Amino acid sequence: MKNRLRLLRAERDWSQSDLAAHLGISRQSVNAIETGKYDPSLPLAFRIADLFALRIEDIFSAENKETEE
């Protein structure tokens, strides 16, 4: 799954640790999600969407979405 987490974080000038603190998870988790090594659980995806006041699909998209379009 692809995501815009790094971009959204950079817009707010947050470090990975800052974002991790906002979400109540580890910095390693933020790094793994940003680099696409780990897909967040649905509850965590909702927390991320709530934090940035966006919809989940505005942040995360399927890896093959672009190739389908």
Partner 1 sequence: MPATPTNPAYRRYMRRMIPLSLVYVGAVALASVLIPDHASASVATVALALVPGFAALGWIWAMARLLVELDDGYLRMLEVRKFLVATGFALSITSIWGLLELYTDVPALPIFFVWPLWCIGLVVGQLVNRVQMGKGACA
In the chain, at which residue ranges do the beta strands (DSSP E only) sit?
2-3, 60-61
**38 vs 52, beta carbon nearer partner 1:** 38
Packing angle of the helix pair 42-51, 16-23 (nearest 10 deg): 110
Q: How far apart are CA 35 and CA 2, in angstroms?
A: 9
* Residue 48 interacting with partner 1 (CB under 8 A): no
CB of residue 30 vs partner 1: minimum separation in angstroms? 9
* Residue 1 interacting with partner 1 (CB under 8 A): no
- Interface residues toward partner 1, by CB under 8 A: 24-29, 31-33, 35, 37-38, 40-41, 44
